[in-house]
Amino acid sequence: MMRCLACLVLALSLLAFSSAGAFAHAYLVESIPADGDLVKQAPSSVEVLFNEPVEIVTATLVGPGGEMNRLNVEGGKHARVRIAMPPGLSEGSHLVSYRIVSDDGHAVSGSVVFSIGRVSGGSPAGKQDPTLIVSALSPPLAMARFLLLAGMAFGVGALLFSAFLAPVAAARRLVLSALAIAGAAAFFSIGLQGADAHGQGFAALNDRAMWRSGVRLPQGVAALIGLAGLTVAALGLFAKGLTKRSLALFALALCALSLAWAGHARGWRPEGVMQGLAMLHVMSAICWAGALLPLAAASGREGFISVLQRFSAFTAPVYLALLASGAALAATQFFGPREVFATAWGIALAVKLAIVAVVTLFAVLNRTLFTSGVIKGDDSALKLLRRSIRLEASFALAIFAAASVWRITPPPTSLGAPNERAFQIHIHGAQAMASMTIRPARVGPVQIRIEPKAIDLSPLRVQEIDLFLTPDSPDVAPIQRKGKLVSGANVWEVEGVTVPAPGMWRIRVDLLIDDFDRTRLDAVISLRP
C-alpha cells in the first residue's frame, strides 16, 4: 500500500514539474501604448509588461516610411521592460519589434504597433488606382466571352425566330456555325478560367489540373450549362412543331442561366432579384439580336410582310424588357463608393449605352417609317429596312464586345473608395492554397480576407487560421493576428491589422486543417504609402 502511495506521489510530482515547464514561456500581458493605440504625442518610451521577468535581447523600430532603427533596451531581467524611443518621431504608424529570453531559456519575439497623430495611409491626392484586373489570360478570356455572347445570340436567337415566326431552313448551316463557335468558346473558357485562377499563362492549358480547377469554378459551371443549352439548340434546329418550340425555349433558359450564373450580378443585392433581372436581360438580348439576321434573310421571300408584322408585334415588348432590365442592373452601380464613369466598368457601360442609343434610334425608324412603307409595297422602304437591319446586327456585335470587356473590369460596388483598391493574391503551398484580399492596398489599417482552398481550388475547411505579417527584414518580429470565420461562408477575416510602413512585407498563413494536420503558406507583397 505504501509503495503504491509513494508511486502516486512521485507521479503527481513529475506531473507538477512538467506542467510548470509547459507554462514557463513568457507572454505579453500589456503594453503602453497598447497595440493599435493612437496617441497625440510621440511617447518617450514603450513599456511592455510580461507575466514573468524576462531579459530583452533586441528591439527595433520600423517607422512610417519603412526606416528601421535599433533601440536601446534595459539590461537585466524585469517583468516590465522600458524601451526608449528616439526623439523626433514623425506622425503615422510605428512598429516596435522585440525579442526576449524567458526563464526557461526560450527566445520569444513579439511586436507592438502604435500611431502618432494619425494612422498611416489615407487617400493622397494624385492618380487613382486602375480599375482593370489584367492578367496574361485577360485578352483570350474577353475574346471567349465575346464569341460566346455572339454565338448564343445569333444561334439560339435564330432558332427562336424559326420556331415562332418563320422557318430559317436555308440559313441552318450559318446557325449551326454560330452554335459551334459559341460551344468552342464555352469549352476553352473552362481551361482559361482554371489557368487564370492559378496565375498561369496560355501554355498551362496543356495541364489537365487547370481544366479540373476550371470546372469547379462558378465560371466553369456556367460554361457547362451554356454547352448544354447550345446542344439543345442544335437539336432544336432539326425538330418540328411543338418539339422545336419546347427545345428553343429550353435552350434559351439554359443560355440565360449560364450567362447569369457567373456574371457580376451574381453577387449584387438583393441576390434573387438581381439574378432574375440578369436572366431577363440575357433572354431579351438573345431574342432581339438573334432575330435580326433571319429577318433580313426572310426579306427576299414571299410572305415577308406577314413575317414583318409578327416580328414588329413580338420585338416591341422584348426590346422594352431589354432596356428596362439593363437600366435596373446598371442603376445598382451608382450607389458604390466610386463615381461610376470614373472606372473602367463605367467607361464600358458608357460605350454600351451610346451604342444602345443608336440602335434604339434605328428601331424607332424601322417601326415608324420603314415597316409601314414595306407594308404599303414601297420598294425603297424595303431596301432601307434591309440596310437598317444589317446595321442593327452590327451594332449588336459592338454591344457584345463592350459587354465582354466587363470580364476584366470589376463593377464599382466591388471596389473600395478611390485610391483604396484591394490587393489580391493567391498563396500556394504543398498541401493547400488560399486566396487573400487586403483592403485597401496600402499602409495603414487594413482588412484581410482569406479563403482557404485545396490544391484543385475546391473549398478547404480549416479549424483555425493564424496570420503573420513581417517587414522584409530578419531582425523584426511579425504582427500576429488570428482569423475569424465569416458566418455562412468559407472565408476568414483578420481585423485590427495596421501596416505601419510601405515596402516589401512577408506574409505567413498557418492553416490548422485538423488536430494533426497544419500547413503553412508563404508569400511576399509590396504595399504602397
pLDDT recorded at residue 347: 92
DSSP readout, 389-432? Answer: HHHHHHHHHHHHHHHHGGGGS--GGGS-STT-PPEEEEEE-SS-
pLDDT at 178: 95
Q: What is the 3-state secondary structure (H, E, C) of 3-15?
A: HHHHHHHHHHHHH
Kindly list the structural domains of the chain, giving each domain's residue range(s) and its CATH number in brackets, ordered by start. Answer: 21-116 (2.60.40.1220), 138-413 (no CATH), 419-527 (2.60.40.3340)
Find out whether 512 and 465 touch, Cβ atoms under 8 Å.
yes
**What is the Cα–Cα distance from 322 to 219, expressed in whole angstroms?**
23
Q: What are phi and psi of 205, to 5 degrees?
A: -65, -15
Q: How many CA atoms lie within 13 A of 275 on its CB side?
A: 10
Contacts by residues 218-222 (CB-CB < 8 Å, ≥ 24 positions apart): 218/261, 218/262, 218/266, 219/189, 219/190, 219/193, 219/262, 220/190, 220/193, 220/194, 221/261, 221/262, 222/258, 222/259, 222/261, 222/262
Q: Which of 87, 104, 85 is nearest to 95 (CA)?
A: 85
C-alpha to C-alpha distance for 347 and 353, rounded to whole angstroms:
10
Compute the distance between CA of residue 290 and CA of residue 158 in angstroms, rounded to an integer. Answer: 5
pLDDT tens digits, the chain, 529 residues: what are they?
445 544 544 444 444 444 444 444 567 888 898 888 888 889 989 988 888 888 887 888 988 888 888 888 777 788 888 888 998 898 888 989 888 877 665 667 788 888 898 887 654 433 445 577 777 888 999 999 999 999 999 999 999 999 998 887 667 888 999 999 999 999 999 999 888 877 788 888 998 888 988 888 788 899 999 999 999 999 999 999 999 999 999 999 999 999 998 887 876 777 788 889 999 999 999 999 999 989 988 887 888 888 888 898 888 899 999 999 999 999 988 887 778 888 889 999 999 999 999 999 988 888 888 888 888 888 888 888 889 899 999 999 999 999 999 988 888 877 666 656 677 788 888 788 888 888 877 788 888 989 898 877 788 889 999 999 888 776 788 888 999 988 666 889 988 888 888 888 889 999 998 878 889 998 888 777 6
Question: Is 0.75 surpassed by the pTM of this model?
Answer: no
Given a contact cutoff of 8 angstroms between Cβ atoms, the answer to whether 62 and 500 are in contact is yes
DSSP string, 45-95: EEEEEEEEEEEEEEEEEE-TTS-EEE--B--SEEEEEEEEPPSSPPSEEEE
- Separation in Å, CA 202 to CA 139, 140, 189, 192, 207: 11, 9, 11, 7, 10
For residue 121, what pLDDT is reported? Answer: 67
What gap in Å lies between CA 329 and CA 333, rounded to an integer? Answer: 8
Asked if 179 and 234 count as a contact pair (C-beta separation under 8 A), the reply is yes
Task: Select from 344, 196, 217, 222 the least CA-distant residue to 275.
Answer: 222
The label of the residue with cell 464599382 reads 412
Contact assessment for residue 404 and residue 325, using Cβ atoms and an 8 Å cutoff: no
What distance in Å separates the CA atoms of residue 258 and residue 254, rounded to the nearest whole number?
6
Instruction: Tell me the pLDDT tens digit for each residue of 316-333.
Output: 899 999 999 999 999 988
CB 389 within 8 A of CB 135: no
The identity of residue 311, as a single letter, is: F
pLDDT of residue 516: 82
Residue 98 CA to residue 107 CA, distance in Å, equals: 10
